[in-house]
Amino acid sequence: MSLVIKSWFAKDTPNENGNYVHIVGRASGLISWVLSLLKIDAVSEVEVQDDLIKFTQSSLSGREIRIIPLKSITSAFYAYEKPWKKVATIISLSLAFMLMGMFGLADGSLVGLGFFGIVGGVIYYVLSKKLKVAVVDASGWTGSFAFKRSVIEGQNINEEQAYQVIEIIRTLIEKKTS
């Protein structure tokens, strides 16, 4: 499941809490947003400090925190997924509906349905791009977090920013091993 980003920090120098990376996300949707306003939302959080990575997942029923020493990280990766296939299918069907309606092969209302399908496909594409950043520790455990654009919080993270997180982690790991 992808989370929407509530806050994002990733720099080569640590913030006031010693974090080089600090990402906070929540479940997507209007209900989750309302719960976050009431401070009873479920959030996932990743913090990268000078010598550790901390994964925190909280829900209405509790919290789990995993702390991994940076020297135990064996690999890190990121992925950026664009939903082209789904959008192409939506737009193709919408165009077919529009053509059928325009040429009288079906009810004319299909033209309007096709138009809304195309607009919906574009909106779906913009809101469904996903960013995933992950690390694997020496035990084989994979800690990952997948995020998508947050319309309400106004946060959108691109591929370059995801790569920056991996580069920060790589630099900190190399600093520990040299």
* 20 or 8, greater pLDDT: 20
Mean pLDDT of the chain: 83
* 86 or 176, greater pLDDT: 86
Tens digits of per-residue pLDDT, 73-86? 988 888 888 888 98
Is the pLDDT at 17 greater than 90? The verdict is yes
> Where do the domains of the chain lie?
3-82+129-177, 84-125
Tens digits of per-residue pLDDT, 129-173? 888 888 899 999 898 888 876 666 666 677 788 788 888 988 888
Q: Which of 29, 31, 5 is nearest to 153 (CA)?
A: 5
* Percentage of residues in the chain having pLDDT higher than 90: 16
CATH class of 3-82+129-177: mainly beta
